[in-house]
Amino acid sequence: MMGKKLLALLLCGALLVTVLAACGAPEEKEVSAEQDSQPVETEKEPDTGDASLDNPRNQDGIGEKELLVVSFGTSYNDSRRLTIGAIENAMEEAFPEYAVRRGFTSQIIIDHVKSRDNVAIDNVKQALDRAVENGVKTLVIQPTHLMDGLEYHELVDEVAQYSDAFEHLAIGKPLLTSEADFQAVEQAITEATAEYDDGKTAICFMGHGTEAASNAVYETLQDQLTQSGHENYYIGTVEAEPSLDTVLSAVQKGTYERVILVPLMIVAGDHANNDMAGEEADSWKSTFEAAGYQVECLLNGLGELESIQKILVEHAQDAIDSLHS
């Protein structure tokens, strides 16, 4: 009963859920993400940084309280450390009474990092099983997803199967959930790119996009930017709307000389490095250059921004607070 109650409340849009009981086990499922894509197989893989500098956070000895940070993941080692790793570090600093652990939803990325760098990262099932085996009693899960989309619901479904495994269980909300979240993200991305806001530059953010109704977050963020006077800021996606063609058409209506491209994703992974900044003719960079613009690409994921980390910490705090309500 409690497991069904957890799932029903979460899927209805309740912020979090608390569950009481004792044991369980589910199946992990691969889905498309709003943050990073599957690593592209190439003959010569680019240097993505030193994997040994990143903490996979798959240690045992967890204790009775765990905060599991769930991300889609990325095989770009430096970006993983500077984004997901930074978010995890912020959680650890904010909640010292919790052992912070990592879970990725992309098995393809997990396998790629393991085969290339011999670094093991838990998938969600492995992370949940690890928590059970370590005797965790209070488990708080904070996703780094941008939106309440397909992958977030997959996570909710998977965690629901463990509703009897912990005495207390809560799931935090994605980055863009409340009106305050949109305002905070708007402030974060405009402050991070303020040096390029010179009246002659179009600043274009590239999101992933999703077939789910939650794709509307991109239009919402665009409307908010425009209404706030940031008329030279544009939001597009790789796999949905607004598309690259839509963004290019909007930019061409202005009198811009330069275009700055920035990923609207937690990590700067495969999409950022290839679809956005790649040299292929159909990349965002090449497309804007072909249209006559000077183009500069900023390969920084949102997770690098302290203001973004703060929003996710606040969502985790809401989840923790729900355990006592």
**Cβ count near 111 (within 10 Å):** 14
Residues 216-244, buried b or exposed e (16+ Cβ, 10 A)? Answer: ebbeebbebbeeeebebbbbbbbbbebeb
Single-letter code of the amino acid located at 312:
L
Single-letter code of the amino acid located at 222:
Q
Angle between helices 179-192 and 306-322 (to 10 degrees): 160
Active-site hit among 112, 145, 168, 208: 208
Single-letter code of the amino acid located at 68:
L
Q: Does residue 65 sit in helix, strand or coil?
A: strand
Q: Cα dist. 31→39, 153, 243, 257 in Å?
A: 14, 10, 21, 39
From CA 106, how far away is CA 42, in angstroms rounded?
A: 19
Give which of 61, 156, 129 is closest to 100, Cα–Cα: 61
Which residues are CB-neighbours of 182 under 8 A, at least 6 positions away? 176, 217, 220, 221, 224
Question: Quick one: tokens of 100?
Answer: 């912070």
Q: Is 145 a catalytic residue?
A: no
From CA 57, how far away is CA 49, in angstroms rounded?
A: 18
Q: Phi-psi region for residue 61, left (φ > 0), alpha (ψ -120 to 50) or beta?
A: left
User: 98: which DSSP letter?
Assistant: S
- How much of the chain is helix, strand and coil, in % rounded to 5? 40, 15, 45
Single-letter code of the amino acid located at 121:
I
Which are the catalytic amino acids? 208
